Structure formats: C-alpha cells, structure tokens
Amino acid sequence: MMFQASQLGLGAQWAETKKAYEQANDLLGDIVKVTPTSKVVGDLAQFMVSNKLNYDDVQKKAGELDFPGSVLEFFEGLMGQPYGGFPEPLRSNALRGRRKLDKRPGLTLEPLDLAKIKKDIYNKYGSVTECDVASYAMYPKVFEDYRTFIQKYGDLSVLPTRYFLSKPEIGEEFHVELEKGKVLILKLLAVGPLSDTTGQREVFYEMNGKNTSLISSMRAKNYQARSVKSQSTTTTLLLRTPADPKPILETAAKSEHQCLVWLSRFVSRMAVRSRRVIQLQS
C-alpha cells in the first residue's frame, strides 16, 4: 500500500493514509480483509486522503462522491456478502440506484467464451497463454493494464525490487540480469534540469563501462521521441500508445533501453518532487 500511495503522489502523506485506512475500515463495516476486500479498504483510504475527506464527510457526501470502482463493486455485492451485512445507509447512498446482489455473484454472471477471450488476447498482444486467459477472465482491466505496461517497459521482473520501487542514488552501481549470462552493470551518474518548454530532462548513466544518456519525458500522452546516446550511436525510442500496437523500440538492444526508460521515469519523478537538480559529479 505504501508503494501505491507513493505512485498516487501521497507518499508524503503516509501518516494520514494510515489514519484514513482505519476510518475507511470502519466505514466499510470492519470487513474481513483478504484480496480483493483489503484493496477496497486501501482504495477508499487513499481516496479520502486525496480528497481531504474524513469519516463524517464520507457519510454525509456519499450520494455525490465518485467512489473508486473497487468500493462500488464491493457495495454491489460482487465480492460476496460481508459478515454482518453491508453498512447502511452508506451502501445505498454510494450506489445511487445501482444493482444490489444478495446472493453469490457467480449466480448472475453471463457464461464466458474462453476460446474467444484467448483469440482476442492473441490478436491484441501477439501472444497468449492459458494463464493470460484465466487472468483476463477474473480481472480484465488489471490484465490489460499489465500487458500495456509490459509493452511499454518490457519485463521488469529482471530489475532488483529496490530499483523497481525507487531510484538509485547518484554514483551507485547495480547489476540487472536480463537473462542467463547477460548482465547489465549500471551506474546513475547525474540528472539534468527539467525543461519548462519540452517537459524533458536528461538522465546520465554508465552502462557496462560506457557513458549513456537518456531523454526522459514527464509527459505521457501520445508519442514521445527519446534519444539514447552512447559513444558511437544514437537510437530513438518510440513509446507505444494503447491504440497503436507497433513495436515501442526501434533498436536491437531493446531490453537494455527499456530498463533505462523505467529507471529514468523514477529518477525524473523523484527529482521533480524534491525540486532539486542533481549535477554531474566529477
């Protein structure tokens, strides 16, 4: 939950988020917290912090608040019937006329055409496994977000957890094993200033002993050209948009640059939040 809060820009409000979690839990009836109901409490807590709401505010304004999707699904009964029942009148006020299930949600679901789901996933993403089909059947939006993420940044399971969640320090060296026998030795050297006109900054690395820089854009809409400069070559990286299934990188060294794109994304965001410009070290 701390990582999710940080992604939503609430990292500096972690204490408030924890307090809101307690209030959100009370609002929802102190439900048994196991996936996915634990996510419902967390989503409501972060919604409250983002909108500066407390327990009483949610009760009073439930009929006009735009609650997170997971909260509405819980109130509808799509996650089952909670022990002790749903909290009223909060449930009715929040749903504003939406359906209320009083039985096992599976009884009202339409049959799934798994063969069609498999074909659609293949046509959209170019590959499909039985695990993909099962994931989409249970969590279609989560699965699509995941595949879109993979298309943009590649398989980042190769990154050490620390560098997936936060940026490396200036001068820090770390290793990324892309596959057996293929290891990137990376060092963050410096972060350039953010351009007010382009919304971009240059991030400097040492990759396997060679200096590399990447233009990281803080704008995430449409296409963005990003140049990676090494001692001998300049490669342009094109980010794919969900509506355009073309390859995102016009380069043979795709996985290396995807790692740098992801790392630079974090470095840029951290620099913006701290409002500091890290100068190149001598």
Residue 225 sits in a domain whose CATH number is 3.10.600.10
* Within-domain flag for 280: no
Q: What average pLDDT does range 93-100 have in this prediction?
A: 94
Residues 75 and 125 both lie in one domain: no
Residues 26 and 67 both lie in one domain: yes
Residues 86 and 128 both lie in one domain: no
> Rounded to 5 degrees, what are φ and ψ at 263?
-65, -40
Beta strands 234-238; 182-191: pairing state: unpaired
Domain closes at, from 77, 108, 139: 108
- For the record, the structure tokens of 220 come out as 């995430």
For residue 30, the enclosing domain spans: 2-108
Residues 123 and 134 both lie in one domain: yes
Cis check: omega of the bond before 168, within 30 degrees of 0: no
Nearest of 241, 238, 243, 281 to residue 261 by alpha carbon: 238
Residues 172 and 253 both lie in one domain: yes
Domain closes at, from 108, 133, 168: 108
For the stretch 174-233, pLDDT in tens is: 888 877 888 888 888 888 887 777 777 778 888 888 887 776 654 433 333 343 333 333
* Residue 253, Cβ density class (10 Å: 0-12 exposed, 13-18 middle, ≥19 buried): middle
Residues 46 and 99 both lie in one domain: yes
* Within-domain flag for 282: no
Residues 161 and 147 both lie in one domain: no
d(CA 173, CA 36): 38
Residues 205 and 251 both lie in one domain: yes
Residue 49's pLDDT is 95
Q: How many domains does one find in the chain?
A: 3
For the stretch 230-281, pLDDT in tens is: 333 333 333 333 333 333 333 334 455 555 665 655 454 443 333 333 332 2
| pTM of the predicted structure, to 2 decimals | 0.56
Per-residue confidence band for 115, with pLDDT thresholds at 50, 70 and 90: very high
